[in-house]
C-alpha cells in the first residue's frame, strides 16, 4: 500500500488529531495566536573547490549558521567541529517569542529535593519525535524532519534528521531506536512489562519498530491506532529518544562479554547487570550523552545541580543562530516549596512556574519591583487543582465498601464548600467545579462541570443516612455499620497548590455532615510510595492535570494505579493491564470504561467524538474522583531581563510545559 505524504493527507491530518482541542477561536482567546509555521533551514553550502597550483586559495566559506561565543572559541582551538558540521542537514527552526536572543548567561531555578532537577529530562528538554504545538491544538515534527501514516493508521513512518548528533558528537540514527526496541523494550530484565502506549489497541500485543534505512523507521501495529502520533508527542514516549546505542551497549549482555560485564557490575557495587545499566542510563550520570539543549554536568548529591549547553543541539532560530541561547541551567536545591517561594520573592529565580504557590500571590505582586521580576499567568489544563482520590482497593474492607458506594461519594462531594475554598485558599481565583475536562477541550460539558458540585449539606446528610450511616459518637461523627468510628485520612504533599488550606477546609465542611477527616501532610517521596502501593492510603490529593488533551493519559477518568497521582484502583488496573491474569476483577461500570478507552485508541475520525464524549460523561456520572476548584491560571515568576517567555501558554504535563514554549529560545538580556 502506498504511503500518503503530509501534503496529500488533509483527512489524515484530522485523523492524527483525534482529540484536538476546541475551535480555533476558543484557543486564540485562551492561549494567544499560534506562531507561524516552521520554515526549513537552508541547505549547507557546497564545499569549496581545491585551488589549482599557483592560484591563491579562496577565503573560507562563511558558515550559514552562527553559534555561541564559547563554542566558537572551542572551534578556533580545534577542540570542536565547525557549527555546520555539528548541526543536521535540516535543523529544526524555532520561532522566537519576542526577539532574536543574546548568547550567554545562566538560568537560575530551584528544585524541591535533588530529584526535582530531573525536569531536565522532559519539561526543560521535551525532545520527542513529535511535539505538541504551543497551544496544544495538534502535533508537529520535532526530532523527525517529516512523517507519514498509511491509510488504516497501522504504519507510522518517521524520517529522522540526517546529520543529527548526540551531545558527544556521535551520530544519532535509526540504530538508536532499534536498540531501544530490540535490546531494552524486549529485554524482560530491563522492561518486565510492555508500556500500554506501545500496545496494539485491539490485541494488546506490542508494536514493532522496523529500520528502513539509517534515518527512517516504521512503527507498526496490527490494528488502527488513531492516537499513536499523539502518544509520540506525549511524555510516555519521551524516553525512547534517550538511548544512545554507542554508549549503552558497553553495559548490555548482548554486546559485552559476560566476564567484562560482570566485573563492571561488581565494580559499581551491583549484583545484576541491569542495575548497572539503569545507573548508566540515567540523567544523574553525567557521562551519558543526550540530545537535549542542556546536558547535566553536576548532579546529585552535589549541589547546585548544573546542566550546560549541548554544542550539538539540533535547533536554530529563524536567523540561523544555533540554540540554546543560554549557557547553562542551575538548580539550587531546597527542602520544600515554601523555601522555593521565598527565593522567588527575593528575586533569586530567573524563570519558574513549578512549585510557585497560590497562597503567595499577593506577596509576589507586592515585591515585583524590588525583586525585578514580573508575575505571569498561564492557562492551567487542570480540571481541578486539588483532586480527591478515593482508594477503591483499600485493605480496610469497611472503607473500601464505602468508597465503592456511589451515594457515599456523592455525599462527600456535595458536602464540600467549593466557593469558600476558591475564595480563601486560591485568593479568589478559579471556580468551584467537578472533576472533568477544561472549557477549551472539545469534550467539555457544563453539566459535567457542575454535577454533584453544589454545596448541599442537607442532601449529603440524607444520602449518608440512606446508606445506613445513622449512628454517631458523642462528638457528632458518624459510625460505621459495625459501630466503629468512621474516619478518613486525606494524604497530600504540599507541592502544586494551596493543599494544606484546601484540605483543612474540606475536613471542616465534612464535619458538618458527620464525617471525620484527618489531614495528613507528607513529603513527596513518601506520598508517592504509599500511592503506588495502593493499599493503605484512604484518600490522596493530586492535581487533575491532562485535561486539555486527556485521551493520551486519561488517569483521572477511570480508576488507575499510580504514585503521583496516587492509586485509586491499583488491583483493578492490574487486571486490565494483564487482561485478567493479575489483580482483581473490577465492577461492570469500571470494566466498561476500560473497554471504551480501548475502542477510543483505535477509533476512526468519525467514531472518535461520540466514543470520547461517552467516556467523559461516564467518568462524570460515576464520580470516581471528586473535584474542588479549577479554571485556574498557572502563576510564574520571570525576571525582567529574562525574555522570550510567552505571556500566554497552556500549561500541562502532557504538553511538557514549559517545554512546549520552546525553552531553548529563552534568553537573558546581558545589559
Of the spans 39-43, 102-106, 601-605, 608-612, which averages the highest pLDDT?
Answer: 102-106
At 32, the pLDDT band (50, 70, 90 cuts) reads very low
Predicted confidence (pLDDT) per residue in 210-254, tens digit: 999 999 999 999 999 989 999 999 999 999 999 999 999 999 999
SS3 labels along 19-87: CCCCCHHHHHHHHCCCCCCCCCCCCCCCCCCCCCCCCCCCCCCCCCCECCHHHHHHHHCCCCCCHHHHC
Residue-level pLDDT at 61: 54
Sign of dihedral through CA atoms 355, 361, 367, 368? Answer: positive
CA separation for the pair 467, 462 (Å, rounded): 9
* Cβ 665 vs Cβ 323: under 8 Å: yes
- Candidate from 23-32, 293-302, 453-462, 511-520 with smallest mean pLDDT: 23-32
Predicted confidence (pLDDT) per residue in 585-617, tens digit: 999 999 999 999 999 998 877 788 899 999 999
* Cβ 110 vs Cβ 331: under 8 Å: yes
Give me the chain's average pLDDT, please: 90
Maximal CA-CA distance, the chain: 108
CA separation for the pair 671, 669 (Å, rounded): 6
- For residues 141-155, give the mean pLDDT: 95
Q: What are phi and psi of 548, to 5 degrees?
A: -95, -50
Assess if residue 182 is contained within a domain: yes
Grid coordinates 504509599 are at which residue? 530
Name the residue among 547, 544, 585, 584 with its Cα closest to residue 566.
544
Residue 176 belongs to domain with CATH number: 3.90.76.10
Grid coordinates 504514585 are at which residue? 563
Predicted confidence (pLDDT) per residue in 61-79, tens digit: 567 999 999 999 999 999 9
At 650, the pLDDT band (50, 70, 90 cuts) reads confident
- Candidate from 121-125, 573-577, 599-603 with smallest mean pLDDT: 599-603
At 670, the pLDDT band (50, 70, 90 cuts) reads confident
Assess if residue 532 is contained within a domain: yes
Q: What are phi and psi of 130, to 5 degrees?
A: -125, 160
Predicted confidence (pLDDT) per residue in 338-393, tens digit: 999 999 999 999 999 999 987 788 999 999 999 999 999 998 999 999 999 999 99
Which pairs from 586-589 meet CB under 8 Å and 24+ separation? 586/559, 587/404, 589/618, 589/622
Over 90: is that where the pLDDT of 36 sits?
no
CA separation for the pair 424, 418 (Å, rounded): 10
Q: Measured in Å, how far apart are the chain's first and last C-alpha atoms?
A: 58
Over 90: is that where the pLDDT of 437 sits?
yes
At 136, the pLDDT band (50, 70, 90 cuts) reads confident
Over 50: is that where the pLDDT of 8 sits?
no
- For residues 115-138, give the mean pLDDT: 92
Residue-level pLDDT at 442: 84
Assess if residue 17 is contained within a domain: no
Predicted confidence (pLDDT) per residue in 378-396, tens digit: 989 999 999 999 999 999 9
Q: Regarding predicted confidence, which is higher, 481 or 59?
A: 481
> What is the number of structural domains in the chain?
2
Predicted confidence (pLDDT) per residue in 472-494, tens digit: 999 999 999 999 999 999 999 98
The strand pair at 130-132 and 144-149 is best described as: unpaired
Over 70: is that where the pLDDT of 41 sits?
no
Neighbours of 42 (CB within 10 A): 11
pTM equals 0.81
Name the residue among 458, 474, 554 with its Cα closest to residue 516.
474
Assess if residue 316 is contained within a domain: no
Q: Of 199, 224, 241, at which residue does a domain stop?
A: 241
Let me know the angle formed at the C-alpha of 59 by 56 and 62, rounded to the nearest 5 degrees. Answer: 165
Assess if residue 361 is contained within a domain: no
Q: Of 198, 215, 241, at which residue does a domain stop?
A: 241
- For residues 497-526, give the mean pLDDT: 96
Assess if residue 469 is contained within a domain: yes
What DSSP string describes 571-621? HHHHHHHTTTSSS-PPPHHHHHHHHHHHHHHT--TTTHHHHHHHHHHHHHH
Assess if residue 451 is contained within a domain: yes
Over 50: is that where the pLDDT of 50 sits?
no
* Cβ 171 vs Cβ 165: under 8 Å: yes
Over 60: is that where the pLDDT of 1 sits?
no
- For residues 541-562, give the mean pLDDT: 95
Assess if residue 425 is contained within a domain: yes
Domain hosting 550: range is 384-630
Over 60: is that where the pLDDT of 89 sits?
yes
Residue-level pLDDT at 603: 84
- For residues 623-647, give the mean pLDDT: 96
Alpha-carbon distances of 352 from 123, 323, 639, rounded to whole Å: 12, 20, 9
SS3 labels along 383-403: CEEEEEEECCCCCCHHHHHHH
Whether the bond between 166 and the residue before it is cis, its omega within 30 degrees of 0, is: no
Residue 478 belongs to domain with CATH number: 3.10.105.10
* Cβ 535 vs Cβ 584: under 8 Å: no
At 310, the pLDDT band (50, 70, 90 cuts) reads very high
The strand pair at 216-220 and 208-213 is best described as: antiparallel
Over 60: is that where the pLDDT of 414 sits?
yes
Q: Of 208, 225, 241, at which residue does a domain stop?
A: 241
Residues with Cβ within 8 Å of residue 415, at least 6 apart in sequence: 455, 456, 457, 460, 509, 510, 512, 513, 515
* Cβ 198 vs Cβ 206: under 8 Å: yes
* Cβ 294 vs Cβ 120: under 8 Å: yes
Amino acid at each position: 500500500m502506498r504511503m500518503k505524504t503530509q501534503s496529500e493527507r488533509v483527512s489524515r491530518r484530522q485523523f492524527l488529531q483525534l482529540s484536538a482541542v476546541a475551535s480555533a477561536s476558543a484557543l486564540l482567546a485562551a492561549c494567544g495566536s499560534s506562531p507561524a509555521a516552521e520554515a526549513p533551514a537552508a541547505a549547507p553550502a557546497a564545499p569549496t573547490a581545491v585551488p589549482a597550483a599557483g592560484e591563491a586559495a579562496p577565503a573560507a566559506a562563511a558558515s550559514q549558521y552562527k553559534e555561541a561565543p564559547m563554542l566558537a572559541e572551542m572551534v578556533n582551538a580545534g577542540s570542536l567541529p565547525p557549527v555546520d558540521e555539528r548541526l543536521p542537514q535540516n535543523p529544526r527552526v524555532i520561532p522566537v517569542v519576542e526577539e532574536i536572543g543574546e548568547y550567554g548567561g545562566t538560568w537560575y531555578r530551584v528544585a524541591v529535593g535533588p530529584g526535582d532537577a530531573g525536569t531536565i529530562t522532559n519539561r526543560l528538554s521535551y525532545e520527542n519525535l513529535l511535539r505538541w504545538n504551543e497551544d496544544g491544538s495538534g502535533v508537529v515534527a520535532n526530532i523527525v524532519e517529516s512523517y507519514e501514516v498509511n491509510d488504516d493508521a497501522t504504519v507510522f513512518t518517521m524520517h529522522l534528521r540526517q546529520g543529527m548528533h548526540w551531545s558527544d558528537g556521535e551520530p544519532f540514527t535509526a540504530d538508536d531506536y532499534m536498540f531501544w526496541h530490540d535490546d531494552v523494550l524486549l529485554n524482560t530484565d530491563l522492561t518486565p512489562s510492555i508500556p500500554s502506549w506501545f500496545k496494539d489497541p485491539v490485541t494488546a500485543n506490542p508494536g514493532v519498530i522496523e529500520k528502513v534505512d539509517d534515518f527512517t523507521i516504521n512503527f507498526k501495529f496490527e490494528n488502527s491506532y488513531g492516537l499513536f502520533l499523539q502518544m509520540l508527542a506525549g511524555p510516555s514516549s519521551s524516553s525512547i529518544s534517550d538511548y544512545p546505542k554507542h554508549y549503552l551497549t558497553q553495559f548490555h549482555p548482548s554486546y559485552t562479554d559476560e566476564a567484562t560485564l560482570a566485573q563492571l557490575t561488581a565494580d559499581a557495587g551491583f549484583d545484576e547487570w541491569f542495575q548497572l545499566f539503569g545507573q548508566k542510563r540515567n540523567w544523574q550520570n553525567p557521562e551519558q550523552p543526550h540530545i537535549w539543549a542542556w546536558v547535566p554536568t553536576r548532579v546529585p548529591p552535589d549541589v547546585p545541580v548544573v546542566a550546560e549547553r549541548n554544542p550539538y543541539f539540533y535547533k536554530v532560530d529563524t536567523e540561523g543562530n544555533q540554540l540554546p541561547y543560554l549557557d547553562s541551567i542551575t538548580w539550587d536545591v531546597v527542602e520544600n516549596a515554601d523555601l522555593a517561594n521565598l527565593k522567588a520573592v527575593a528575586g533569586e529565580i530567573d524563570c519558574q512556574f513549578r512549585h510557585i504557590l497560590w497562597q503567595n500571590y499577593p506577596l509576589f505582586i507586592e515585591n515585583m519591583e524590588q525583586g525585578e521580576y514580573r508575575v505571569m499567568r498561564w492557562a492551567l489544563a487542570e480540571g481541578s487543582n486539588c483532586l480527591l482520590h478515593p482508594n477503591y482497593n483499600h485493605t480496610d474492607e469497611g472503607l473500601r465498601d464505602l468508597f465503592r458506594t456511589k451515594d457515599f461519594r456523592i455525599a462527600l462531594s456535595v458536602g464540600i464548600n467549593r466557593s469558600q475554598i476558591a475564595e480563601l485558599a486560591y485568593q479568589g481565583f478559579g471556580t468551584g467545579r467537578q472533576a472533568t475536562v477544561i472549557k477549551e477541550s472539545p469534550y467539555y460539558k457544563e453539566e459535567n462541570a457542575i454535577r454533584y458540585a453544589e454545596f448541599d449539606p442537607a442532601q449529603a446528610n440524607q444520602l449518608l443516612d440512606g446508606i445506613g450511616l445513622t449512628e454517631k459518637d458523642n462528638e457528632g461523627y458518624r459510625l460505621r455499620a459495625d459501630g466503629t468510628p468512621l474516619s478518613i485520612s486525606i494524604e497530600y504533599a504540599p507541592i502544586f497548590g494551596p493543599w494544606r488550606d484546601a484540605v483543612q477546609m474540606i475536613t471542616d465542611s465534612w464535619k458538618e455532615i458527620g464525617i471525620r477527616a484527618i489531614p495528613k501532610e507528607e513529603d513527596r517521596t513518601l506520598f508517592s510510595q504509599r500511592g503506588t502501593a495502593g493499599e493503605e492510603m484512604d484518600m490522596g490529593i493530586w492535581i487533575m492535570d491532562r485535561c486539555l488533551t486527556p485521551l493520551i493519559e486519561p488517569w483521572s477518568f477511570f480508576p488507575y494505579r499510580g504514585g503521583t497521582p496516587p492509586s485509586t484502583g491499583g488491583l483493578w488496573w492490574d487486571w486490565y493491564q494483564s487482561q485478567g491474569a493479575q489483580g482483581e476483577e473490577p465492577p461492570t461500570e469500571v470494566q466498561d470504561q476500560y473497554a471504551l478507552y480501548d475502542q477510543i485508541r483505535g477509533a476512526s475520525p468519525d467514531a472518535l467524538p461520540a466514543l470520547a464524549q461517552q467516556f467523559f460523561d461516564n467518568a462524570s456520572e460515576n464520580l470516581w474522583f471528586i473535584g474542588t476548584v479549577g479554571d485556574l491560571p498557572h502563576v510564574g515568576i520571570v525576571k525582567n531581563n529574562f525574555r522570550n517567555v510567552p505571556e500566554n501558554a497552556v500549561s500541562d504535563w502532557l504538553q511538557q510545559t514549559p517545554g512546549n514554549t520552546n525553552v531553548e529560545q529563552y534568553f537573558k538580556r546581558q545589559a
